[in-house]
Structure 1
Amino acid sequence: MFRIDRTANRLSKLERTSFSEVGFREREHLQEWLASMPDALCEAMSEGEDGLLIIQKEFDGFDGTRERLDLLALDRNGQLVVIENKLDDSGRDVVWQALKYAAYCSSLKKVEIVGIYQQYLDRQGGGDAAGLICEFLGEDTLDEVVLNDGTNQRVVFIAANFRREVTATVLWLREHQIDARCVKVVPYRFGEEIFVDLQQVIPTPEAADYMIRMAEKDSEEKSAKGAQKWSHQMRLEFWEQALEALRAAGLERWQNITPSRDHWLNSSISVSGVTLTLIFLRHEVRVEFQLNRSDRDENKWLFDQLAENRDAYEQAVGEELEWRRIDDKKVSMVVCKTSVQGYSKENWPEMIAWLVDHYRMMDEAFSEPVRGLAARMKPGGGS
């Protein structure tokens, strides 16, 4: 690894060192770095956009043993990831140790995983584990979340050097459809500065991409032969019936919308980034007027203009609405909702009738005012 000297237009070689030489320890340093910045590990594994959610450090919640795994994480598929850290040498027994942990974790249920993460958050200063998991996975409620499905726990080994018996075993595991990876973490010194380089060595990035594509192809073929997940099929059926009712009611925006496996469907009101969205959940259906333009300030300004007349809008809709400005996010929204038993099909006609009526009322109440506000709005919010 080299450092660029812009002034001299030369390269300066960084001195490779060892963690023990520069005084770093496994738990106090390497483990803390990864726990606080999992993106560094994700970048090394070419998962920068997918990410990992660290849910526990030094996890020892296994029955009949006091062993501890270094880091426990969730990936975007809701699968558990066992992360074992070593410093200058991987050791001989790290694979056996990690596989035991993966086996222990394979039986963890959703409620246990949420509890494990909540304990971690409480030690870090607080937070809502269920809500953060939903946000990480892009789901609206915990009911929609599937965690630790099947036996697909992933294993990541981290060390500066890997012994041959370790790399040979990891390659063998991968051949047998176990997602095991080796990430090399190497310290470098330049003067008083210390740098760390993380690179995935098994599989190589090129091989990983190929193997992921082959796994996706195999998954698609299996999906085509088997039934879709029950919840996905349920949503498809519900949206088919809902779209028929919306079209029959003369709501032309829905003519070219197709049913989806998602829990939501969008329709445009002819203002960029503003939608009327239908939400179908197990215990609730909603109509949301979403302000999700590219500029956060524009969304907040539009919301504030609407909120000044909230009583009039609620009177027009005939319902008490939820006004969600959501200051820490770009989107703002106004929500009309009702509680249901959504996965009982006998309730669907009543639920769909509610959605059609309240979609029409939300549209009539909000769409024209927002089109007027957007027409006179300056970039960045305000008029």
Structure 2
Amino acid sequence: TLTTVQILQIFQDYLDSSGSSDNAKEVLMDFLEFDDENELLLNDGDQRVILVANNFRKEVTSTVLWLIGHDIQISCFRATPYSNGQNVFLQIDQIIPLPETQEFMIDMKEKEREEKKMSKSTTERKDLLLEFWGLVNKSFEEKSFSRYDRIVAKPYYDHGFHVKGGYFACVIGRHGIRVELYFSSDKDKSKIDSMLNHKQELEKTFGDSLIFERLESKTASRVKFEMPYKELYKKRVRFTDKSGWPARIDWFSDTMPRFCKAVIPVWERMN
């Protein structure tokens, strides 16, 4: 029943205890290469109702359980009177929700709310990605770049195709956009090292400096080119803001054909 906030706190506690100065949210966002953060949903179900009776009819308890399921804070207490001589006692017992299950029910409800919100956010993000990559494909088609003719837009942050075990892709990263040749299986780094041997040829054909990443902590590696910092700084708006799409689409439609023209022949010769 852990929520995102609770998970982040647990991870942050672990990082702190291990002597790391990293921020848990930043580490996870970088690792997953997510562009958007989910907004924190606070508990807005602040209504609170307490029902007290000697006996509750089935219709009442059923209604109470339904209200609890819809974020109404409501509880039922059974009041049982006792007498002992001249003394009168009133025993109060909470019957809905049961004390031993109340915390679990709250946690489950928080988790359910978070999942509903994330599901809505995920659906919206997928729709945006499908629309964006569809526009990128259209731009490629207008420029007669045929590599994407049969590539269908999918709701991912990368959009590409495979050539002899290498994945050529346009990528929307958290801090910018890039084109890359990604090797998902390069544990011994032989693929990236072989590409690095052709660095001068690749950059001469491409017309700009490329970044060769060994990704030492992973079994993968890649060759990439990112939108230059100055250009990125001027055009950096959140991906969900469609006003920033034309700049991204223009950059991809200009850069990806040049990247493929320079890198694919070298990669194919190596295989």
The equivalent residue for 2:152 is 258
What is the letter of the counterpart of residue 178 of structure 1?
K
Give the partner amino acid of 2:129.
Answer: R
- Decide which structure has greater helix share: 2
Distance 1:168 1:227 in 2: 30
Question: Taking structure 1 as reference, are residues 122 and 311 closer, same or farther at Cα in structure 2, changes over 3 Å only?
Answer: farther
Larger Rg: 2
In the other structure, the counterpart of 1:321 is 210
Q: Considering Cα pairs closer than 8 Å and 6+ residues apart, tell me whether 1 or 2 has the greater RCO.
A: 2
Are 2:176 and 1:279 equivalent residues in the alignment?
no
Q: Is the 8 A contact 1:321 1:335 kept in 2?
A: yes
> Residue 370 in 1 paired to residue 267 in 2?
yes
Distance 2:16 2:42 in 1: 28
* Matched residue type, 2:263: F
Other structure's SS at 1:144 match: coil
- Give 2:245's aligned residue: 348
Aligned twin of 1:80: 6
Other-structure match for 1:303: 192
The correspondence for 1:145, drawn from 37, 46, 49, is 37
The match for 1:133 is 28
Query: Is contact 1:253-1:268 (8 Å) kept?
Result: no
Q: Aligned partners of 1:278, 1:177: CA distance in 2, in Å?
A: 39
- Written as runs of structure 1 = structure 2, the 5 A alignment for 1:1-383 is 78-81=4-7, 121-129=15-23, 130-134=25-29, 139-141=32-34, 143-146=35-38, 148-149=40-41, 151=43, 167-169=100-102, 173=105, 178=109, 231-269=125-163, 271-272=164-165, 274-281=166-173, 284-293=176-185, 296-297=187-188, 300-338=189-227, 339=232, 340-342=235-237, 343=239, 344-374=241-271
For residues 127 and 309 of structure 1, do their structure 2 counterparts lie closer, same or farther at Cα, with a shift above 3 Å needed?
Answer: farther
RMSD: 3.9
The 1:147–1:327 alpha-carbon spacing in structure 2 relative to 1, beyond 3 Å, is farther
Separation in 1, partners of 2:42, 2:219: 36
Distance of 1:233 and 1:242 partners within structure 2 = 14
3-state SS, counterpart of residue 287 of structure 1: strand
1: CA distance, partners of 2:16 / 2:37: 22
Distance 1:125 1:228 in 2: 34
Q: Secondary structure at the match of 1:329?
A: coil
- The one-letter amino acid of 2:200's match is D
Q: How many angstroms apart in 2 are the aligned matches of 1:277 and 1:151?
A: 40
Structure 1 distance, partners of 2:266, 2:32, is 30
1:372 is paired with a residue whose SS is helix
Q: State the match for 1:57 in structure 2.
A: none
Task: Pick closer, same or farther for the CA change 1:255–1:125 going to 2, 3 Å.
Answer: same
* Cα distance between partner residues in 2 of 1:144 and 1:314: 32
CA distance in 1, matches of 2:39, 2:130: 22
State the secondary structure of the residue aligned to 2:32: coil
- Which TM-score applies when normalising by structure 1? 0.45
**In structure 1, C-alpha distance between the alignment counterparts of 2:15 and 2:156, rounded to whole Å:** 29
Per-residue deviation, residues 230-269 of structure 1 (Å, max 9, x unmatched): 5444333321211111223333332233333322112112
- Whether contact under 8 Å (1:282, 1:341) holds in the other structure is no
Measure the CA separation in 2 of the matches of 1:324 and 1:243.
27
Q: Does the residue aligned with 2:109 lie in a helix, a strand or coil?
A: coil
Code of the residue aligned with 1:287 in structure 2: it is V
SS state of the match for residue 267, structure 2?
A: helix
- Determine the C-alpha separation between the residues in 1 that align with 2:198 and 2:141: 31
CA contact (8 A) 1:267 1:275 kept: yes
1:369 and 1:288 mapped to 2: Cα distance?
A: 14
